[in-house]
Chains A and B, each alone.
Chain A
Amino acid sequence: MAETRTVLVVDDSATIAKQLSKILEESGRYKVVGHSRDGLEALKAFQSSPPDLVCMDVVMPNLDGVQTLRMIRQIKPDARVVMISSVGGVADKLAECLKAGATNVISKPFDSAKVLQVLDSV
């Protein structure tokens, strides 16, 4: 049986965190180990126990997703971070995420098949 991968979900929306957690947990392939509501919380959680994957929003209060991504990559240069954003359709924003080290970017609204397809590939 394939190993279960741990995921940290970072989104200021409880709705998105719940949706994502449900998709990931129900697949049986992922275990959500935490939900951070902004970048600062995410950095603390990542430092205390680095997960296999991070799923993170771009637009967030306090420390946004791109800045947080850069810091996570400083802590762990090979960290696997998938951005989940409603602004993935804007080329400049997408480029900013990729330059900061995002492994992939999923657009909102997402469905379970797309989320799992992308996460399984990283």
Chain B
Amino acid sequence: MAVRFFGQFLLENGAINAEQLLAALSYQEKMNLKFGDTAIHLDLLDKDKLAKIFSRQRSEDLKTGEAAIKLGFMTQAQVDQVLRAQKNSHVMIGEALVKTGALSDAQLSEQLQAFKKDQDAYQFSSGLPRQKDSTGLAAPAVDLAMKLLMRLASLPVKLLDLRYSLTEARGVTTYTARVAFTGDHEGEIALRASDRLCAQIASAMLGEPVAPDAKSAILDATCEFLNVVGGNLAAVGARQGKKVELSTPRSGDVPTEGRNIIVARLGTPDGDIEFIFVVGEASKPYGR
């Protein structure tokens, strides 16, 4: 069970095959106009201006809407108009599968119901204040970490509190597992807990006992746990139109300077786990 793209849910369950999904994705690509083409269609840009936007994007990491505003070709209101038009005319993957003959309307309806049931477990309900979550990713990250700790490590966890700085762990031996992410935002997710608790997570993941001093096995298992959280977070990000790619963190400690930090303290019967979300850059709300 994971946060999934509907097409992958169908593929994994054998409702469609890889060729059918590729055909539907290709249909979607043809039908769903990109930001620039939509803006031209709405007479808000012309081809010359779009070429200048592309040229600017080669030297600066900007989305098309951002570049159009920077170059004075569009106003924020016009960018919003294009984004709304893109959203309203968007062909969803289910519709594309029906149009390309992979599913009937009745099959689509049945599969959508099954998909909704599958994904209900991943509806997010974190108590993280919105103003503290500038990227919109921290709340789902905390929630995913809690759900996956219960699911993968069989640990009953409870959110004790949220903190906005990282303090040094004292008194007990701890392990810190980390996974970095890039894309529309750059940052890290990390998990810090006592050696005993980390060994418990690793044991549950591996299905065999792991001693608290088996550092390599513990870090591998807890990093894999974070990879699963991160991968599912990428799927949540994709639903919000955000690109999240996982990568290897830089060596050293969790970076904190110039970053927004959220530490969710999760209580378990065997001690607390700190789930750490660190992010640098601010949100980029414009379409590519």
Contacts and interface: CB of A to CB of B under 8 A. Distances in A.
Nearest to B244: A90
Interface in B127-144: none
B5 interface: yes
Contacts of A111: 1
A117 B14 CA distance: 9
A98 interface: yes
Given A19-B205, A92-B238, A105-B12, A98 B21 contact: yes
Interface residues of A, number: 36
A89 B238 contact: yes
Interface in B229-288: 230-232, 234-238, 244, 246-248
- Among B2, B8, B151, B235, residue most surrounded by chain A Cβ atoms (within 10 Å): B8
B191 interface: no
- Among B202, B221, B247, residue most surrounded by chain A Cβ atoms (within 10 Å): B221
Given A95-B22, A109-B2, A86 B227 contact: yes
B67 interface: no
B224 A15 contact: yes
A107 B9 CA distance: 9
A9 to B, nearest CB: 14
Given A105-B12, A106-B12, A108-B2, A87 B235 contact: yes
A36 interface: no
Interface in B79-102: 93
A18 interface: yes
B199 interface: no
B223 A13 contact: yes
A89 B227 contact: no
A98 B18 contact: yes
A65 to B, nearest CB: 12
B45 to A, nearest CB: 24
A89 B5 contact: yes
A68 interface: no
Contact of A90 (B14, B227, B235): B235
A13 B227 contact: yes
Interface of B: 1-5, 7-8, 11-14, 18, 21-22, 25, 93, 148, 151-152, 202, 205-208, 217, 220-221, 223-224, 227-228, 230-232, 234-238, 244, 246-248
Interface of A: 13-16, 18-19, 22, 59, 61, 85-95, 98-99, 102-111, 114, 117-118, 121
Given A91-B93, A95-B22, A105-B12, 15 more contacts: A15-B206, A19-B207, A86-B234, A87-B235, A87-B246, A88-B231, A89-B234, A91-B5, A93-B234, A98-B22, A98-B25, A99-B22, A107-B8, A108-B228, A110-B2
